Chain A
Amino acid sequence: MGSILDTVKNKQTNNITPTTTGGSIFRTVSGQISNQINEPQNKYLSGGFISDVADILGTGQYAITGGIESQLEKRGILRPSTTSGLKGGVKERKSNIGLLKRIGEETGKGGLLTGQYQPTQSVWGNFVRELPVTALGLAGDIMIDPLVVASKLGAVAKVTKTIGSAVKTGATAVASNMPAVQKIGDVLERLAITRGGQSEAFKLADKQRIINESLALEKTEKLVSDLIEAPSVIQQRMAQVLKGGILHEMIFVVWLNQFVRNLMLLVKQLQR
């Protein structure tokens, strides 16, 4: 039983000794581990959810990159490896950036386009030198991806549309034969779809109503903003006009009166 810590220590020094005897469950396990240590690492679908989505979308590109790598190995441009080929490309999430760098490393050709440079202490210097190989590799990743071709030709949209239509037709058929399903469908539509269940005429009219209400309110704001910001005295006079208490023409007299009064106050203050 005490061998567990020894096993851990051994592993820390990367010095694993397969031991399948001795009766300890821990020794048995360490044997199993050591047998797997030389297998290529499977990175595909090994990250979080987003990483898995990226892997699924990038599968075609990974495979083709692996395939290109394998061809380069077969033609002797690159040294043989166990991780190339369609399957290896997917497993290792192969990228053309990595492939270009490998070409550079193994052939010494390509200069900055294959990442051939002597790293320096300058972070910016290294960064700038990495740009050509990264840009070229990225362009390669995008261009050789069969998903790009399929999407641009509309094939992906066609497939998903066909599947969607089939599901919809099936669901409608089931719902029309089973009232309970229809009811559940109606409730779900009302709850989970924006404006679900509303008639088309209603949707249009209601959207227009919302816009019209906002525009009308803005118009109101423009009309009344001067009045609501006016001094109390002016507002009181305006209220009288709006209520029909005094004629609109009299406003000038009121304003003149106010003006003269203010002028007098100003003169008094100046005199002091």
Chain B
Amino acid sequence: MAEPIRQELDAVGEAITKVNPKLLSEETFLANKGTYLGNFFTKYIAPTEETRISTEALARGRKARIPTKEFTQRKDFAENIIEKVGDFFKLSSKDKQIVINATRDKDLPSLGGKLQKIRSDVENILERGQVTINDLKFQTSARRLSQIINERVRKSVGLIEEGGLPAAFSLQKGQLGLVRSKFFKELVDKGSVIDIPDETFRFQLPDSAQLGEATGKFVNRADYDAIMKTIMPDDGLTKLWKDGLRFWKTSKIAYNPSTIARNDLTNFLILNPLGGVGPHRLDIYYKTVKEFYEGGELWQRFRKVGGGLSSQSRGELIAKATELYKKNSNIRQQFKKVEDFHKAVVNFYGNQDTFFKFSNFIKGIMNDGLSDFAAMKRANFYLVDYSEVPKVVEWMRNSPIGAPFISFTYGVSLPLAKTLLERPDKLSAYFKILRAMQSLGADQTIDESILPENLKDQPYSALQMPFKDEFGRPQFIDMRYILPFNILEPTSIANNTLGSIPGISQFGQNPVMQFFGGILTNTNPYTGKKIVPDGSTPGEAIMAVIDYVQKIILPSLAPGIPTRVQGQTKIGGFGLEKLKSAIEKHPDFAGRERSVPKTLFDVLGGIKIQPVDLELQQRLQNSELKKQFEELRSQAVRTQLSKTMTKEEKEKELARLRQKVFELAQQLKERTK
């Protein structure tokens, strides 16, 4: 078990000495070869969660230490104690007492000569707090004192005596150090980094051993930014925010079966076909499944060009090693199962994207004659590559005032735009298919004007199904939840947040915006309804706010703190609420009355089927229209009788009202046609 690790540690160390001697000199490496494994301490490497968060929050961004100390000489804490106080223990008992007295009483004059030097050394050691006067008084030798101090410090910082975590840490840092050293060497060799600055290459890299030959040299602005991002981790608060945001996003995506299903539908029906793998290519999908599970040759080739690599594996390994170490040490093992479950969920979600990319890669290699690199590039282009986004998108997805899901939108926009510019017929064919699907329900004729706003005049994004529901109501599928349609046309939900400008509605999905926007306006951006209903008591208001906040935070199907709002008991995330409403046969929060199977189809399969009660809609709209006419009539009377308005102003206002009446009448004409 230890031998391969030992060999790898030595191999990595030796390779670093050749590529980047600044990081690890040959002498140091040879001196420690075959024996080196660093000392690691619980306090620093596996702190409690509370300590970790408080330490990270206060941490400032600084250059990552990769790997520096991992391959240098192990040192004892008290190594210099022997050196410093060795002479003290050689003194006679009487002289020892003199030195001790002198160090106790600062006002005593200089002892002079040798004793004074020893006094200074002792004072120096005492100041560091590692040694007390009693230690000097009662210990017999410097070596013994050194042992005691070592034990004491090790106990306080918790020396990790098990090999797993230190080995994982050392090897990982060593590997990273080697890869990065090779990278920086390549940059120097290929001229991306130069010695003397010019107009373009004018940004100087910092002095850092891990930069190797690139240390202190010059690069262009964009390369400089990328290098600094690589070697400078985020500062504490930024990291905490990003970790929190990532966790929240995971809870909203990976823990939401409907989102996964919708992403899969988008990949299967739109993105992969645009990239060359149509839904009919079951042979490719079969091959993908086979290779995926067997880890075959194509899978290995896919991995070598960056397919299916987890961007979080760096943190995951250390986290796993740390957790297992803590488990061995009986620390916080109760969270292990929860974390395992979380990891399984995240992996499942990540594998969906990998699967489709891999299928595209296979088609590229087997049918289209592409090289591995070109096939990977195509797969990454057509099936969203979250790791490669422009700076502005990266800022938006990470910012507290940004759009957390913008990278999906951005990633989907590129293949759509490319197809629109090069093969618009492919997109046009989709629209024709959608239209044909609607015509399958030819026996249903519906007056569009009485439909709810989000379904009205949307022949493609609100797709009428060929079947009515069990109550004879026509049904619609809201495509804006399924396909990348929401990029171009926000849902009715988004209309309640930041208007109907395509793309802008993305900002409404930010949890911070949702929280403050919702609380400040007392409007739920998802439903457009008031968060705290009118006439609520303080207790009901608190309940309503709790319900709103937990819906922002919780995964769709997760239970939350039960609350009672407007006589209804709320139990958690949106998905769960929908299911509860369907089981209880009540309209859900958006006023939809749906059966349990249809609701399951929504919360698990991501397909929203909305039945519309036409009779109810007709009544509602007639009554609404009547109200609007009445309102316009009173405005016209007020305008005509106004004493303050000039004749021109009156005419202008009446013209405006006339136009409004005209529009209303047209609506009515449509309805009664």
Bound complex: CA A37 to CA B670 (Å): 9
| B442-A101 in contact (CB<8A) | yes
A246-261 with Cβ < 8 A to chain B? 248, 251
A48 touches B457 (CB 8 A): yes
- With A48-B461, A101-B442, A151-B425 as known contacts, state yes or no: A228 contacts B321, CB within 8 Å: yes
Assess the A248–B439 pair: CB atoms within 8 A.
Answer: no
In the complex, A23 Cα to B355 Cα: how many Å? 71
Total count of chain B residues near the partner, CB < 8 A: 115
Binds A, one of B117-125, B257-265, B307-315: B307-315
Known contacts A123-B468, A190-B391, A205-B190; decide if A227 and B424 are in contact (CB<8 Å): no
**B440 CB–A CB distance under 8 Å:** yes
List CB contacts (< 8 Å) of A160-216 with chain B. Answer: 160, 164, 186, 190-199, 201-202, 205-216
Question: Does A242 contact B37, Cβ atoms closer than 8 Å?
Answer: yes
Instruction: Report if B305 contacts A (CB, 8 A).
Output: yes
Whether B133 is near chain A, meaning CB under 8 Å from some CB there, is no
Q: Looking at B37, B629, B657, which has the most chain A CB atoms within 10 Å of its CB?
A: B37
A214 to B658, CA, bound (A): 67
Interface residue B268 (Cβ < 8 Å from any Cβ of A) = no
A148 to B, closest residue via Cβ:
B425
- Pairwise interchain contact A239-B37, C-beta atoms closer than 8 A: yes
Interface of A is mostly: helix
CB atoms of B666 and A33 under 8 A apart: yes
Of listed A16, A209, A228, A231, residue having the most chain B CB within 10 A: A228
A40 to B121, CA, bound (A): 103
Contact B387 A152 (CB under 8 A): no
Task: Return chain B residues, CB-CB under 8 Å to A81.
Answer: none
A216-B175 in contact (CB<8A):
yes
Contact of A138 with B by CB under 8 A: yes
Q: Does A262 interact with chain B (Cβ within 8 Å)?
A: no
Q: How many residues of A contact B (CB 8 A)?
A: 108
Interface segment, one of B160-168, B528-536, B552-560, B569-577: B160-168
Does A134 reach chain B (CB closer than 8 Å)? yes
Please determine whether A97 and B439 come into contact, CB atoms closer than 8 angstroms.
yes
Mostly helix, strand, loop or mixed at chain B's interface? helix
Kindly state whether residue A263 has any CB partner on chain B within 8 Å: no
* Any B CB within 8 A of the CB of A238: yes
Residues of chain B lying within 8 A (CB to CB) of residue A33? 662, 665-666, 669
Please provide the chain B residues from 195 to 234 with a CB less than 8 Å away from any CB of chain A in the complex: 219-223, 225-226, 230
**Judging by beta carbons under 8 Å apart, are B392 and A228 in contact?**
no
Indicate if B546 sits at the interface (CB-CB under 8 A).
Answer: no
Contact present for B654 and A202 (CB under 8 Å): no
> Is A156 a contact of B429 with CB atoms below 8 Å?
no
Give chain A interface residues in 63-98, CB to chain B under 8 Å.
95, 97-98
Contact A206 B324 (CB under 8 A): no
Q: Which residue of A lies closest to B35 (CB)?
A: A244
CB–CB B423/A194 < 8 A: no
CB pair A5 B629 closer than 8 Å: yes
Please state if B221 and A58 are interface contacts (CB–CB under 8 Å). no
Q: What residues on A are CB-neighbors of B429 within 8 Å?
A: 142, 148
Q: Does A54 contact B (CB under 8 A)?
A: yes
Check if A17 is an interface residue, CB within 8 A of chain B: no
A11 contacts across to B, CB distance below 8 A: 665, 668-669, 672
Q: Does B1 contact A (CB under 8 A)?
A: yes
Q: How far is the CA of A211 from the CA of B468 in the complex (A)?
A: 52
C-alpha spacing A251/B187, complex, angstroms: 44
B294 on interface, CB distance cutoff 8 Å: no
A122, B178: Cα distance in complex, Å:
70
How many Å from the CB of B627 to the closest CB on chain A?
Answer: 11
Quick check: B172 and A195 within 8 Å, CB to CB? no
A209 to chain B, nearest CB (A): 4
* A98, B163: Cα distance in complex, Å: 75
Contacts of A192 in B (CB 8 A): 390-392
Closest to A218 in B: B313
**Cβ B2 vs Cβ A138 within 8 A:** no
Which residue of B is nearest A150, CB measured?
A: B425
Q: Which B633-673 residues have C-beta < 8 A from chain A? A: 633, 636-637, 654, 657-658, 661-662, 665-666, 668-669, 672-673
Task: State which of B3-11, B51-59, B145-153, B603-611 sits at the interface with chain A.
Answer: B3-11
Q: Which are the 5 A-B pairs with shortest beta-carbon distances?
A: A244-B35, A197-B222, A239-B163, A228-B164, A235-B162
Ordered by A's residue number, 21 sampled pairs between the chains whose C-beta atoms are within 8 Å are: A4-B633, A33-B669, A51-B457, A54-B428, A58-B431, A97-B435, A156-B423, A194-B389, A194-B390, A196-B390, A211-B309, A214-B310, A217-B314, A220-B8, A221-B168, A224-B171, A227-B164, A231-B328, A239-B37, A243-B74, A244-B35
Using a CB–CB cutoff of 8 Å, the interface residues on chain B facing chain A are: 1-6, 8-9, 34-37, 74, 161-168, 171-172, 175-176, 178-180, 182-183, 186-187, 190-192, 219-223, 225-226, 230, 303-306, 309-311, 313-314, 317, 320-321, 324-325, 328-329, 387-392, 421-429, 431-433, 435-436, 439-443, 457-461, 466-468, 485, 488-489, 502, 622, 625-626, 629, 632-633, 636-637, 654, 657-658, 661-662, 665-666, 668-669, 672-673
Known: A138-B436, A192-B392, A206-B226. 7 other contacts (CB 8 A): A123-B468, A151-B424, A157-B421, A196-B390, A201-B187, A209-B183, A223-B171
